[in-house]
Structure 1
């Protein structure tokens, strides 16, 4: 690898940007793709190779494609949970085991405590402000669980402007419709609002907090790993 390419790989990793290094195995020619754009190298990948690179990023897997080695440098997976509720207590350890760095946001100190979430990054502040600071990216899932519009809605408004791969919100179809109307009235894009997963999670008949947590993590996994539009 040329020094100039190596330096840009390191810079992209430091900036937590999705990166793919493509190497032509026959002659060593390389292309560095950062956030979908070729930024360095002496190789110009075609559309098919760029698509393969994007698939590698989504699947978290480096591989060889038609004589090219596609090496990924993915940012870590993150889960931002709005609401330190019972479902969150079940979801957080499951998501941690699945490889997510989890942040729980809730200004209510009685809920967002070390005792309820040991060893977890818990922030006792207004979700909207924390969400802005967190800068959700395409490796981030966001789950709103408070069922309180004062907490969920502002956080979702920020989430809808981000590249988060999954945005879900707790509540029935009636609750989701009312939330969509509020978000639209506050200026959120209707098409983006339609992308909120609500009622949240896969429809597996979940009842208990733990079962709902399973359904949420399953839907997150489908959004991350499944077919585009799946």
Structure 2
């Protein structure tokens, strides 16, 4: 790989930006693609980025190329050190997510309840720069406390998280929408909030709710064009 291309690739990875290296298998020529929409192989690269897997493709000329996909590790930021989080965190970790739990309530956010987890006893809207919300982050608001969840939801929407979900009934979410609109959040952005959170599988226990949430997050990651 050329040194200039490697330097640009490393810069993209440091910035948690998706990148694809396209290699012509006949000539060995390479190009770095950061904006798939501007590349002749836009569709093939888009599919590879969604799957997260490198693969073969063909240029319009018929030449075989290899698409080497470089994606940031997905993150899951959970606001609320609650019972659902105790199941959700280890499941997400087993799926390759970097998990952070944020809750300013120190009685809940204790290492004893959440061993081996990046645990922050603080407010997310104040901690978000260090937490690192971005387009490769899934976000779940689980405290059911507007004082904690609402500012965190605003931060997650502003950061462009690929998944934003919030615990609560439809009635609860209707009230939440009114509060967020009053806080200046655009109605279009509010449509991105998955609420009630999780796939509708009839989940009742905290563990079942955690399964429904991680399933919905997986669908948002792997099937981004669909609203389930």
Using the size of structure 1 for normalisation, the TM-score is: 0.92
Aligned partner of 1:212 in structure 2 is: 209
Alignment of 1:72-151 (within 5 A): 72-151=69-148
Q: What SS is found at the alignment partner of 1:161?
A: helix
Runs of 4+ in structure 1 deviating by more than 6 angstroms, as ranges, are none
Aligned partner of 1:155 in structure 2 is: 152
Whole-angstrom CA distance in 2 between matches of 1:108 and 1:87: 16
Deviation at 1:36, TM superposition (A): 4.3
Alignment of 1:129-208 (within 5 A): 129-208=126-205
Whole-angstrom CA distance in 1 between matches of 2:30 and 2:206: 48
Q: Does 1:5 align with 2:2?
A: no
Q: Aligned Cα RMSD in Å?
A: 1.4
Deviation at 1:227, TM superposition (A): 5.4
Whole-angstrom CA distance in 1 between matches of 2:191 and 2:96: 27
Deviation at 1:216, TM superposition (A): 0.1
Answer whether contact 1:17 1:35 (CA < 8 A) is retained.
no
Answer whether contact 2:100 2:131 (CA < 8 A) is retained.
no
- How many pairs are equivalent? 222
Deviation at 1:219, TM superposition (A): 0.2
Deviation at 1:175, TM superposition (A): 0.6
Instruction: List alignment gaps of at least 5 residues for structure 1.
Output: 39-44
Whole-angstrom CA distance in 2 between matches of 1:148 and 1:223: 25
> Once the two structures are superposed, what CA deviation does each residue of 1:85-143 show, in whole Å capped at 9, x if it has no partner?
00011100110111101000001111000000001000001121122433322211000
Whole-angstrom CA distance in 2 between matches of 1:85 and 1:36: 39
Q: Residue 35 and residue 83 in structure 1: after superposition, are their counterparts in 2 closer, same or farther (change >3 A)?
A: farther
Q: Residue 35 and residue 149 in structure 1: after superposition, are their counterparts in 2 closer, same or farther (change >3 A)?
A: farther
Deviation at 1:229, TM superposition (A): 2.1
Answer whether contact 2:75 2:137 (CA < 8 A) is retained.
yes
Using the size of structure 2 for normalisation, the TM-score is: 0.93
> Once the two structures are superposed, what CA deviation does each residue of 1:58-89 show, in whole Å capped at 9, x if it has no partner?
21100001222110111111000000000011
> Once the two structures are superposed, what CA deviation does each residue of 1:42-70 show, in whole Å capped at 9, x if it has no partner?
xxx31xx1232122122110000122211
Aligned partner of 1:50 in structure 2 is: 42
Whole-angstrom CA distance in 2 between matches of 1:52 and 1:209: 39
Whole-angstrom CA distance in 2 between matches of 1:147 and 1:184: 18
Whole-angstrom CA distance in 2 between matches of 1:203 and 1:228: 19
Q: What SS is found at the alignment partner of 1:26?
A: coil
Instruction: List alignment gaps of at least 5 residues for structure 2.
Output: 59-63
